[in-house]
Amino acid sequence: MFKKKNFLFTLLLLLIVAVLTACGGGSTEGTTSSGSNGESSESSGEARTLRISLGLNDQHPLYHSSMKFKELVESQTDTLKVEVYHSGQIADDRSAIEMLQFGTLEITIPSSAPFVSFVPEYGVFDLPFTLTSTEMVDAILQGEFGENLAAKTEAQGIVQLAWWENGFRQLTNDTKPINTLEDLKGLKIRVMENEMHIDTWKALGTNPTPMAFTELFTAMQQKTVDGQENPYPSILLEKYPEVQKYLTETNHVYSPFLFLVSKKIWDELSAEQQEIIRSAAIEAGEYNRELTRQTANEALEELKGQMEFTKISDEELERFKEAVKPVIEQYKDQVGTEIVEQYLSEIENFSNK
Ligand code: TK8
């Protein structure tokens, strides 16, 4: 008798577990952030939450621009809520991009370099010493070239709504002042997780280490790297002068920030919700570029008071450009010959205006 009762109890338990598992939903893949299986918030009544994952902290123009995006979206609809997570709280750039593909994160705004392993054509921005002014950047990214390039993300399950700005990248290190190519020799430089950045800094004579942005400050603090390269706002606002003594103006690469949305989640939104999000990303992008450029100028002046500053002379920069020429030749095919030629002709057209 006891055995029979035991068997029935176990059977009942298994049945309950089976029913609960079927309702609970499976892996993180395909389960949207709100936990619903894609039900549009408009039909269910409650607001849909859009989480934005950022690598930089809440002092940076990227965070302030994301809060501007939040204000614009939430002022136009009560069917959407925006939550901004800074300092890599949710994930680093590469993981956040993968989460967009799975539909387990709504929005992330990374630099273009880590995105190259998802869409190789974004490697045009890693070709060193090519973009040389914000006017040139705007002419190329806010026009047809930028639009056509952004359209390539959809095949990877990602929708790019706008081009925001990280900025022109500069070098810091904790070892010595940098004035010549020879001064770089042997420095351990953290670079973004991107093959062209690794090979560029090898061609410049350094010993590059690819690393997620979220690990960078600790690596400098523990001296596992001598230096890094980022735009002035990040250098100042992430407090790099606390762990880096020397600042060198190189402008070796321009990094855009990419406003990326999960296509899985995008396709679940209504046309009205999509339009609100798209227009807010574009308007907040204008705010972002203006704020970032103003912050970069102010940050440089503040950094000159906190670090030993050198600026590579135009003559010496020609030696830097000569040293990295093989990298540009080496990567033309990998990035895509057609897109590289389009990019370089856009630059030439702008320069000949
Ligand atoms: C922040 C990064 C950062 C980038 C880097 O998420 O990794 O050095 O410049 O801005 O995208």
Q: Per-residue DSSP letters for 246-260?
A: EEEE----EEEEEEE
Q: Per-residue DSSP letters for 84-120?
A: EE-TTSS--HHHHHHHHHHTS-SEE--BSGGGGGT-G
The CA 213 to ligand 1 mean position distance, Å, reads 5
At 45 the pLDDT is: 72
The closest residue, in CA terms, to atom 5 on ligand 1 is 213
Please check whether residue 225 is in contact with residue 201, taking contact to mean a CB–CB distance below 8 angstroms: no
The closest residue, in CA terms, to atom 6 on ligand 1 is 55
At 97 the pLDDT is: 98
At 206 the pLDDT is: 98
The closest residue, in CA terms, to atom 4 on ligand 1 is 111
Domain positions in the chain are 48-166+255-299, 170-253+308-351
pLDDT band at 36 (very low <50, low <70, confident <90, very high): very low
For the chain, the farthest-separated pair of C-alpha atoms sits apart, in whole angstroms, at 95
CATH of region 170-253+308-351: 3.40.190.170
pTM: 0.88
Which of 43-57, 169-183, 267-281, 339-353 is predicted least confidently?
Answer: 43-57
Q: Which amino acid is at 9?
A: F
The CA 260 to ligand 1 mean position distance, Å, reads 15
Residue 236 confidence (pLDDT) above 90: yes
Please check whether residue 347 is in contact with residue 339, taking contact to mean a CB–CB distance below 8 angstroms: no
- In this chain, the answer to whether the domains covering 48-166+255-299 and 170-253+308-351 adopt an identical fold is yes
Atom index in ligand 1 nearest the CA of residue 255 equals 9
**Residues 77-131: tens digit of each pLDDT:** 999 999 999 999 999 999 999 999 999 999 999 999 999 999 999 999 999 999 9
Atom index in ligand 1 nearest the CA of residue 190 equals 8
Average pLDDT over the chain, rounded to whole?
91
The token pair that represents 175 in the structure block:
């070892």
Judge if the beta carbon of residue 255 lies within 6 A of ligand 1: yes
Please check whether residue 250 is in contact with residue 312, taking contact to mean a CB–CB distance below 8 angstroms: yes
Query: What mean pLDDT do residues 224-234 have?
Result: 98
Higher pLDDT, 20 or 186: 186
Residue 298 confidence (pLDDT) above 50: yes
The CA 230 to ligand 1 mean position distance, Å, reads 7
Atom index in ligand 1 nearest the CA of residue 192 equals 7
Which of 60, 105, 234 to mutate for ligand 1's pocket (most ligand atoms within 8 Å of CB)?
234
The CA 281 to ligand 1 mean position distance, Å, reads 19
pLDDT band at 15 (very low <50, low <70, confident <90, very high): low
Residue 39 confidence (pLDDT) above 70: no
- Whether CATH 3.40.190.170 fits 48-166+255-299: yes
Higher pLDDT, 69 or 20: 69
Judge if the beta carbon of residue 93 lies within 6 A of ligand 1: yes
Please check whether residue 136 is in contact with residue 263, taking contact to mean a CB–CB distance below 8 angstroms: no
How many other β-carbons are positioned within 10 Å of the β-carbon of residue 16?
A: 10
At 46 the pLDDT is: 85
**Residues 127-148: tens digit of each pLDDT:** 999 999 999 999 999 999 999 9
